[in-house]
Copies of this chain bind each other. A is one copy, B any other.
Amino acid sequence: MERMSMGELNPSARILMGPGPSNVHYRVLRAMSTPLLGHLDPQFLSVMDDICTMLRDLFQTKNRLTIPISGTGSSGMEASFVNFVEEGDTVIIGVNGLFGERMVDVAERCGAKVVRVDAPWGNMIEPEKMIKAIKEHPQAKICALVHAETSTGAQQPLEEIGRFCKGHSILFLVDTVTSLGGVEVKVDEWGIDICYSGTQKCLSVPPGLAPITVSPKAIDVMHSRKTKVQSWYLDLTMIERYWGEERFYHHTAPISMLYGLREGLRIIFEEGLQPRFERHRILGDRLKMELEGLGFRLFAQEGYRLPNLNSVVLPSGIEDGPVRKKLLTDYNIEVGGGLGQVKGKIWRVGLMGETCKIQNIEYLVAALKEIMAR
């Protein structure tokens, strides 16, 4: 075992081709090593404003309340439910993987009555099934879906459901942890009311922040709650006062992480959203072709496969644990194993943000060929 002593921190230089974290641009790491400002310093308030502006462009929204939550992607999920759900509310959740299951758990802890719309792992959820569930539960407050199921590599179509929700009082909640910055996410056009993500996937910023955006329709729901938000830390009615003009202190912002996010967003807009999505699309196709050539079978439903997180069923010659260990220790390549019901059966090969480069694909393929030839 590669045990590091309590000496210097000198980790190996990994190529992070798992489901996240992805590799981080050196400019982001450099920004994170900048000496700190205080969380109420006027210069820091400008940093916050810059981040909000760029996050709005990234989410393709005009929502005023568009900020990073001070926690990892899962804290974004919790913030997205806890601020809007009150005891006894009905919430419709599409479940076709681990993160849909997690949504059910989170919503129930908020006191929600959950209506599940299930689909097999690896498949998308038929939009008509979601719309039917909404029609059958006209009192439902929220309809929630995962855009990019990190556990299966499936991409969920959203536009039809969003269009339906727009015409009704129900709020449309979407998890874009693995999609934002890698594939198109159009919050306003698609009628999404609550949308959260994480920094460690296609933004290529270290884990620790959860960008979130909230529509005016959802803010109205939040402001007309009868009860206090059960989480103090994630209470957006207070957090919005720190990120808004009032600058009212809530908790000490994670300064260095926000420095990193700002730089990561700058890099994204230097590349441009469309070229970035194109890069993920082209290289995602390339990786899939290469892996199929090696005998892997694509796991996710055809037509609904993510470019940036490629789920593949292992060929008979490849043993999950030992081969992933060999990739890591002999080649410095991390790929992800399966979670939950597909544990041991599939791999999840990420091509997110900085990781999404042709040289990483070539190197992974060469490494696999070597291992399989032995």
User: Which A residues have a C-beta under 8 Å from some C-beta of B?
Assistant: 1-4, 6, 9, 11-14, 16, 18, 20-21, 23-24, 29-39, 41-44, 46-47, 50, 53-54, 70-75, 77-78, 82, 102, 105-106, 108-110, 198, 200, 206-208, 228-234, 249-257, 259-260, 262-263, 266, 328, 334, 339
Contacts and interface: CB of A to CB of B under 8 A. Distances in A.
Given A206-B36, A252-B72, A231 B46 contact: no
Given A74-B251, A263-B9, A256 B32 contact: yes
Nearest to A35: B13
A43 B107 CA distance: 34
B12 A38 contact: no
B78 A233 contact: yes
B11 A34 contact: yes
Given A18-B38, A36-B21, A38-B18, A43 B12 contact: yes
User: Which of A13, A32, A232, A250 has the most chain B CB atoms inside 10 A of its CB?
Assistant: A232
7 contacts: A1-B46, A9-B259, A11-B37, A12-B37, A38-B334, A71-B75, A74-B251
A73 B251 contact: yes
A54 B252 CA distance: 24
A232 B105 contact: yes
Contacts of A13: 35
Contact of A208 (B12, B33, B70): B70
Contact of A251 (B72, B229, B231, B254): B72
Nearest to A263: B9
Given A252-B73, A253-B207, A14 B33 contact: no
A56 to B, nearest CB: 13
A85 to B, nearest CB: 11
A207 B328 contact: no
Nearest to A9: B31
Contact of A14 (B36, B46, B78, B109): B36
A109 B29 contact: no
Closest 10 interchain pairs by CB?
Answer: A208-B254, A206-B256, A33-B33, A74-B251, A29-B33, A207-B252, A106-B232, A78-B233, A38-B334, A4-B46
A178 to B, nearest CB: 11
A252 B210 CA distance: 12
Contacts of A47: 4, 9, 11
Given A14-B35, A207-B252, 6 more contacts: A14-B38, A21-B252, A30-B33, A74-B251, A109-B230, A207-B254
A14 B34 contact: no
Contact of A36 (B23, B105, B249): B23
Contact of A43 (B4, B42, B251): B4
B200 A75 contact: no
User: Which of A50, A208, A233 has the most chain B CB atoms inside 10 A of its CB?
Assistant: A233
Nearest to A3: B46
Contact of A39 (B38, B82, B207): B207
A12 B160 CA distance: 49
A257 B208 contact: yes
A232 B4 contact: no
A42 B9 CA distance: 14
Contacts of A1: 42, 46
B44 A34 contact: no
A20 B255 CA distance: 11
